[in-house]
Structure 1
């Protein structure tokens, strides 16, 4: 985040973050308030580490983070995470090889600590506790729609069917006038997803069976555009590295913090914030360091299961039919 973006963020959030001095102590300035929260979001540092860095108490860091993220959601979310110019998005995906595309959709799991309630509902298919962030992105790698807060166990398709985006697409109000004709078929604005999503007249996903050359070309073009989402996840997590560890927050605060990171990602991208190539490598190393213990345990069990299965294969091969 460059200084100009930081100062603009302070100005936008000042009405919500400004506090009066009290008889006991001076209030934090808006600039320090924002700096503490941005530092916590951008690093995997614990609360004690951030508190020592800024010379404040641990509880102050917790309060500051919650206040700023809620202010971002209240003031900036609807203005920053928005569809924008549909024609530009369509032209951008057209240049990447897919016509009349209004965005690419996917979900990612944000690791969290084990919650106090409904623990098993938070365990995702990879074996660790998470909340799901489902997003729609444009050709420039910016979030145009987000949905966060679903438990890790919930399937992407179910999450999608319960979003406002789904209902807009189903009702034809997402972008009702942008249609093209291919052959004799009229094609509306479509979004692109992976095989986890349902095939709909406005949602295209890869072909998975009886692939011939035409289907493979279709898959290649769709994959080229749909990979935009993976790039966005990589860039946003590399910049806001709190998303790589396990968010040590109350259940109510986790979606607020994740949404704030999405807003800040869009701000940095729109303002041309620098993104050194080494950040991705550093973030990959951080992801390995914070590998969830449940996932490692499951892989160990699976490896033992493979050995058992191979032993049975050998046993059956040696037996007479």
Structure 2
């Protein structure tokens, strides 16, 4: 039998005797990193936020993430937040984040989970449709882009790749034969996200997600005075306008050009979201956990935009409808609204 007084007994008998003698390994406390001691340029590169914004976010979620005790040299709430921000920013494996922060993989996983659930609580405060500004101001900001009237939001879907789940795997296979979550995003002219649906498998089409969303029901009930702009992946409806599929020269072409320039804001917003939080390039977690991470990143994106944080370089992705064979037919009332706007505002 191996010696039970060695730190790593090599057989079961030695390990049993060690437990009986109550011999414990010496606890090794890894040195903690003081994140806020770094200059803001380093913080933005690694965490996507300056020190003042990190303090602001920490003050918002501290009650939900702090450890009740300090046993075993527990992380402070600020350290928990910074660990999660580092994962959101670079999207690396948990052990890579742990190595960078001098933490174990399990500690990193728990920190990310805590922060995700805390930020999810803030969703109603930071993601509000049609926005925190008056509706008239939102319409004016959209109108300045290309002269399109009465717009209160632009809508689009984007796929967030995930690892193949163990349950209902087929539902998450999208039209490109990869596994993903199809996320519906609505934004305003300032690239602030005003609505998000992050629970749908990749096999679900944009039009179905919209038709079953709470936002669609609210628009149909007439709760908002304004229009959404969407691509051809959506049906043309009285409150959701899509471009003409085969525009005639003149007003219809002018309508489509203005529609395209205005709707480009949602593509820019999605590009900013994914560039700022590289974890959204591929999530190696179960779909339910992936949905929570996406929502957390949306909340953080709005906080960063509102606080004027440095924007990352954006690579606009190809529109998802370019190779999408499904183009839902327009509704007659929707076509009538589209024709009225086309004739009244784009006849020159």
Superposed pair shares fold, TM > 0.5:
yes
> Secondary structure of 2:195's match?
strand
Q: Is the 8 A contact 2:156 2:184 kept in 1?
A: yes
Q: Is the 8 A contact 2:162 2:287 kept in 1?
A: no
Could you say which residue in structure 2 is the equivalent of 1:80?
A: 126
Could you say which residue in structure 2 is the equivalent of 1:71?
A: 118
Could you say which residue in structure 2 is the equivalent of 1:298?
A: none
Q: Alpha-carbon deviation of 1:174?
A: 2.4
CA distance in 2, matches of 1:168, 1:208: 27
Q: How does 1:146-295 map to 2 (within 5 A)?
A: 146-175=196-225, 189-244=226-281, 246-276=282-312, 279-280=313-314
Q: Which deviates more from structure 2 when the two are superposed, residues 80-89 or residues 153-162?
A: 80-89
State yes or no: 1:53 paired with 2:100. Answer: yes
Larger radius of gyration: 2
CA distance in 1, matches of 2:311, 2:108: 26
CA distance in 2, matches of 1:29, 1:105: 39
Q: Alpha-carbon deviation of 1:20?
A: 2.7
Q: Alpha-carbon deviation of 1:241?
A: 0.4
Instruction: Tell me the TM-score normalised to structure 1 length.
Output: 0.80
Q: Alpha-carbon deviation of 1:210?
A: 4.8
Q: Is the 8 A contact 1:112 1:131 kept in 2?
A: yes
Deviation digits for residues 191-249 of structure 1, max 9, x if unmatched? 100001111111110001252221110000000010101100111110000011x2011
Q: Is the 8 A contact 1:20 1:27 kept in 2?
A: no
Could you say which residue in structure 2 is the equivalent of 1:186?
A: none
Deviation digits for residues 55-74 of structure 1, max 9, x if unmatched? 11101111110110110011
Question: Using a 3 Å threshold, how does the CA distance of structure 1 residues 209 and 280 change in structure 2: closer, same or farther?
Answer: closer
Greater helix share, 1 or 2?
A: 1
CA distance in 1, matches of 2:182, 2:245: 25
Question: Using a 3 Å threshold, how does the CA distance of structure 1 residues 21 and 210 change in structure 2: closer, same or farther?
Answer: closer
Could you say which residue in structure 1 is the equivalent of 2:143?
A: 94
Q: Is the 8 A contact 1:112 1:247 kept in 2?
A: yes
> Secondary structure of 2:274's match?
helix
Q: How does 1:3-82 map to 2 (within 5 A)?
A: 3-23=51-71, 25-74=72-121, 76-82=122-128
> Secondary structure of 1:64's match?
helix
CA distance in 2, matches of 1:63, 1:171: 41
Could you say which residue in structure 1 is the equivalent of 2:333?
A: none
> Secondary structure of 2:184's match?
strand
Q: Which of the residues 162, 177, 187 maps onto 1:127?
A: 177
Q: Which deviates more from structure 2 when the two are superposed, residues 227-236 or residues 13-22?
A: 13-22
Q: Is the 8 A contact 1:44 1:241 kept in 2?
A: yes
Could you say which residue in structure 2 is the equivalent of 1:303?
A: none
Q: Alpha-carbon deviation of 1:27?
A: 1.7
CA distance in 1, matches of 2:286, 2:174: 19
CA distance in 2, matches of 1:151, 1:215: 35
Q: Is the 8 A contact 2:227 2:239 kept in 1?
A: yes
RMSD: 1.6
> Secondary structure of 1:149's match?
strand
Q: Is the 8 A contact 1:19 1:28 kept in 2?
A: yes
> Secondary structure of 1:45's match?
coil
Deviation digits for residues 273-314 of structure 1, max 9, x if unmatched? 0125xx336x98xxxxxxxxxxxxxxxxxxxxxxxxxxxxxx
Instruction: Tell me the TM-score normalised to structure 2 length.
Output: 0.74
Q: Which runs of 5+ in 2 are unaligned?
A: 1-48, 318-348
